[in-house]
Chains A and B, each alone.
Chain A
Amino acid sequence: EVQLLESGGGLVEPGGSLRLSCAASGFSFSTYAMSWVRQAPGKGLEWVAGFSGSGGYTFYADSVKGRFTISRDNSKNTLYLQMNSLRAEDTAIYYCARDYYSSGYYCDNWGRGTLVAVSS
């Protein structure tokens, strides 16, 4: 069974930093692309960042480019999201998701999410 467990969320002041982690199990982590998707309170889903399964390629939404960094440690089956220069509009539940490729990439399994609140 695929399991994704996020951690690292919390309250941070504007301009601050936070690192999220996602521990994966139940599948061959290194062979899958992975993504972070967020959901602001009462709002819809927004894809944030992705990391390819091979080749080490990273991709970002324009809203976080230059501030967030996605990384992975395949030896630990863990995905990370380093968030710097945080803004109030980054307040959201952040979900870790496994990407599956057929005719395009889509998230086929999701974690339960971790809440990030940016406020002074």
Chain B
Amino acid sequence: SSELTQPPSVSVSPGQTARITCSGDALPKKSAYWYQQKSGQAPVLVIYEDSKRPSGIPERFSGSSSGTMATLTISGAQVDDEADYYCYSTDTSLDHRVFGGGTKLTVL
């Protein structure tokens, strides 16, 4: 998989919509995944296969992908959503696994 590029930071006010982008040349062919990592905690999967939400993840989290860009959208962001968010992509092998550089989301 090729490199994935994310903005270093995104800031929104509570209740606003936060959008975090991830760009990569391989994304038209490969699925994107998103992880949330709160301070001092392990990453948690919030979106898989571009737009699917694991059980237990609030509906305000959604994902989309078009061309070379994937987007994580948090509708009505809450203070509790403050975290680092990482996109991820891979091909069908076990060893081509790439994380984006991460985006720090601030909600205040």
Residues of chain A having any CB pair with chain B under 8 Å = 33, 35, 44-47, 50, 52, 57, 59-61, 95, 99, 102-113
Contact = CB atoms under 8 A, between A and B. Distances in A.
Interface of B: 30-31, 33, 35, 37, 41-45, 48-49, 54, 86, 88-95, 97-102
Query: Interface of chain A, helix or strand or loop or mixed?
Result: strand
Contact of B43 (A59, A95, A102): A95
B94 A57 contact: yes
Contacts of A46: 99
Contact of A104 (B37, B86, B91): B91
A57 B100 CA distance: 26
Q: Which of A103, A109, A113 has the most CB of B within 10 A?
A: A103
A59 B93 contact: yes
